[in-house]
Structure 1
């Protein structure tokens, strides 16, 4: 995919902070992010729980208002009036992690899928639109599911209903937050194959939020690895996941079953987003710094902040150690940190 194509969705300098209680410092959940999603592209946003990836995804959809930076869709800045947000959410839809929690147990499948049409004042043939959405989501024949309730469906079927509810509005972008995390392993592949088919058939773009790098490998064109409110490595999925530059990405990859490297066990917990440390925000847990291999840049790691990664398609990592290795000529690619 061409990286020169105009982004469908873009974020620049995006920040989201939540005020602390009783004068406590604000929690900087998203602390400076540039991100592009191009037409027909699937981007995986990867990171451990609490890193800010769900807050970032919700801010991209206008569900959380940024405290800094901006979001643009088809080149126009997102505005936060009720009318503008309603129009935007017809074009950009959210698919949540837990299909059981996403579906009203008192609503039939038909009503669950038709709800978006009714909210947006759809004037066409509602029955035909619902049937087409269910069929695209892999529930065929769709009429067989119209009068069923969520408790009568399997987990995979419920997730397909949720996806159909997003598809019925014919969006250009889907943001899927851990779309297969609650499903059995046997069903996960089916849902991922469905998302890929929808991209190929409908030209859908997608942001897939996940903690699973294996999932990112199977579905994404590009990957963005997030840690403590900021993207620390990004690039084409094959490049990032086969030759990771950032120690955090290396640690995440090391625990995959297919990895040939010894598992890296990170010490401690991610720092509190109300007290983000100076320098590289990963330095307190960095296995490379702890081993002494990064002694030449240790002072930089602990004191010198790193810039926000560019949103372009080239691989890049926000890492002083990796930057120093690149300067030394080991061919590790484009990185920050010098």
Structure 2
């Protein structure tokens, strides 16, 4: 049964000025995060993942489209955003950079409750530290960031979010800066928080292996748009889009890595047709021509994917294969 949407991006577009042109960082995205659901947003650096996450947090305003929370459009007044950000909390990529080296762990975790004027500060901080796996909390409360390991610092950042009793965590590459031995512990913590507190999460990552281990659904992003999405087992065990296939092929147990040529195109100059076609192995290798869709690949943009629990891909070649079956 599909969980009710808690956060939704509806036909979202975000643009920035760049060298006299407009960079379409997010270019027509539909995405939902349901109650108690973990969604992984994956793709290469520069594909728009972080901009989309910041827009869902209310840190960027869309050029068009809507962010909805609990079915209501997000309002951009100071009061409305303050209330919203108590419910939807960011877990940043770099815990060292996000923690003030002059503040103790207690002060770092207490900052949010103080901003929001919440009562019972000491109890909130202790409970948040314990939930984040820093037990006993009094052992860590007086420590400074430089006295902690990388994994402990990430737990402090998570505790700072938990101190506000949020409903959603937006985690931007939450384990990218950690040692491999610690990554599993942080991922297990996020899963436990979902199970114990009913938290939802959007996890932004370039690592499909991480998505496989933690997510219920996955959305693959390329050059500002979702190109494949669906239940994580379906998408990652049988990917339809050549871009998803290429990302999966670099995992350690993949039999034949796919090397994509070049870098993602400039978002100020999005190619005609399918935006992936200049790097597409199916087009370059003749498979798209064999399916009779090579002309469409270079001239027609695939339809924007809807926010759906079903597995979908924005790809002419994948659509031709499905139709053939």
Residue equivalent to 1:246:
241
Structure 2: runs of 5+ lacking an equivalent: none
Residue equivalent to 2:316:
320
User: Which of 47, 53, 63 in structure 2 is aligned with 1:67?
Assistant: 63
Supply the distance in 1 between the matched residues of 2:172 and 2:18 (Cα, whole angstroms). Answer: 26
C-alpha displacement of 1:6: 2.3
Kindly report which structure 2 residues correspond to 1:133-144, keeping only aligned pairs within 5 A, or say none.
133-144=128-139
Residue equivalent to 2:204:
209
Residue equivalent to 2:259:
265
Supply the distance in 2 between the matched residues of 1:216 and 1:19 (Cα, whole angstroms). Answer: 32
- The superposition leaves residues 229-267 of structure 1 with CA deviations (integer Å, 9 ceiling, x where unpaired) of 00000000000000000000000001100123x100000
| Partner secondary structure for residue 8 of structure 1 | strand
Question: Structure 1-normalised TM-score?
Answer: 0.95
Residue equivalent to 1:108:
104
User: Which of 34, 43, 55 in structure 2 is aligned with 1:47?
Assistant: 43
| Partner secondary structure for residue 293 of structure 2 | helix
| Partner secondary structure for residue 226 of structure 2 | strand
C-alpha displacement of 1:271: 0.5
Q: What RMSD over aligned residues (CA atoms) do the two structures have, in Å?
A: 0.6
Kindly report which structure 2 residues correspond to 1:119-198, keeping only aligned pairs within 5 A, or say none.
119-122=115-118, 124-198=119-193
Say if 2:219 is the partner of 1:221: no
C-alpha displacement of 1:125: 1.5
Structure 1: runs of 5+ lacking an equivalent: 330-338
Supply the distance in 2 between the matched residues of 1:283 and 1:28 (Cα, whole angstroms). Answer: 18
User: Which of 275, 286, 292 in structure 2 is aligned with 1:292?
Assistant: 286
Residue equivalent to 1:332:
none
Supply the distance in 2 between the matched residues of 1:89 and 1:307 (Cα, whole angstroms). Answer: 32
User: Which of 266, 272, 277 in structure 2 is aligned with 1:278?
Assistant: 272
Structure 1 stretches of 4+ with a deviation exceeding 6 A read none
Supply the distance in 2 between the matched residues of 1:307 and 1:11 (Cα, whole angstroms). Answer: 16
Supply the distance in 1 between the matched residues of 2:94 and 2:9 (Cα, whole angstroms). Answer: 26
